[in-house]
Amino acid sequence: MTITPSRDIARLIEIMARLRDPETGCPWDVQQTFATIVPYTIEEAYEVADAIERGDSEDLRDELGDLLLQVVFHARMAEEDGAFDFGGVVEAITEKLVRRHPHVFGDARDLPPERVKALWDEIKAEEKRLKAERAGVTVEALAAKGRLDDVPAALPALTRAEKLQKKAAKVGFDWGEPGPVFAKIREEIDELEEALATGSRGDAAVAEEVGDLLFAVANLARHLNVDPEDALRGTNEKFRRRFRHIETGLQAADRTIEDASLDEMEALWQDAKTRERS
């Protein structure tokens, strides 16, 4: 049977089923599990973000397709396990959107913003109650896991740090202003230097102090209303761009980067900075 491309989501679901067929499907697709696909799901989400940052709408269309494929892939595996199917995924999110927006879809229209926020909190509380009911426990028992336990461990580390800090801040475990966070960063730098003085690069104590320093910097970013993941992603791109300027500058002079001195590379780095500012 020939399967052709289509704008119909049903065709994509059909293609995924063919790929997962144990007898006639793709051997690679057939052997995948939820756990093995997770890294690809995360990667595709970041590639969507990258296309948006570059303003490339054609690439964004392709990357959104790749991300949608991940949803279809997981849904197909769940269907094979008898858990749910793609339709169930769609039903769950549409039901949630309608439930969480009674001021749009229900009888709570024309509410002031503060009442919408209060209503949102009430809806979230009811969702927690229903979740506890499904799990066969009380809301109190569900909450006893710990307020931070529902922050996914698979998140990028900086993003997870920010979310952990935000949740702790909701119950008052937070500094009210950036000043003390600067002091904490200085403290963590001092402790890192002490760990290096008594240990060696890469050992557990040094790694722990580096982690503490990164956590403190993420905390500062949060207090400054800066997304640490976005900020670091921007700096990563800036580093790539400036390093590429070093490479092209050396190539223009018939030099290789392997043969260049640090002073030569630094001069080209500073030139890249100057060009960016002009």
How far is it, in rounded angstroms, from Cα 149 to Cα 128?
A: 14
- Token pair recorded at residue 158: 């900086």
Report the SS3 class of residue 148: coil
CB 31 within 8 A of CB 80: no
Q: Which pLDDT value is given to residue 223?
A: 96
Q: Cβ(192)–Cβ(206) under 8 Å?
A: yes
Domains 9-98 and 157-226 share a fold: yes
Close Cβ partners of 255 (under 8 Å, ≥ 6 residues apart): 264
Q: Does residue 191 contact residue 204 with C-beta atoms inside 8 Å? A: no
pLDDT of residue 1: 57
CATH architecture of 9-98: Orthogonal Bundle (1.10)
As a whole number of angstroms, the distance between CA 212 and CA 210 comes to 5
pLDDT reported for residue 219:
96
Q: How far apart are CA 69 and CA 86, in angstroms?
A: 11
Can you read off the two tokens belonging to residue 191? 């402790």
CB 160 within 8 A of CB 218: no
Distance CA 78, CA 150 (A): 22
Per-block mean pLDDT, blocks of 10 residues, the chain (278 long): 78 95 96 94 91 93 97 98 97 92 80 81 81 73 74 87 93 92 97 91 91 96 93 92 96 93 95 92
Task: Please tell us whether the domain made up of 157-226 is placed in CATH 1.10.287.1080.
Answer: yes
CA angle 153, 199, 220 (to 5 degrees): 45
Q: How far apart are CA 130 and CA 138, in angstroms?
A: 10
Residue 32: what are its φ and ψ, rounded to 5°?
-75, 155
256: its two tokens: 């290789």
> Could you tell me how many residues make up the chain?
278
Place of tokens 């008594």: 198
pTM: 0.67
Q: Which of 11, 45, 32, 40 is nearest to 233 (CA)?
A: 45
Separation of alpha carbons 81 and 79, rounded Å: 5
Domain range summary for the chain, segments of one domain joined by +: 9-98, 102-143, 157-226, 231-277
- As a whole number of angstroms, the distance between CA 150 and CA 144 comes to 11
For 189, the enclosing helix (H) or strand (E) is helix 179-198
Q: How close are the terminal C-alpha atoms of the chain, in Å? A: 60
**Token pair for residue 163?**
């979310």
Residues 130/140, Cβ–Cβ less than 8 Å? no
Asked if 60 contacts 46 with a C-beta cutoff of 8 angstroms, the reply is no
C-alpha separations of 108 from 29, 78, 111, 126, 194 in Å: 46, 36, 7, 17, 58
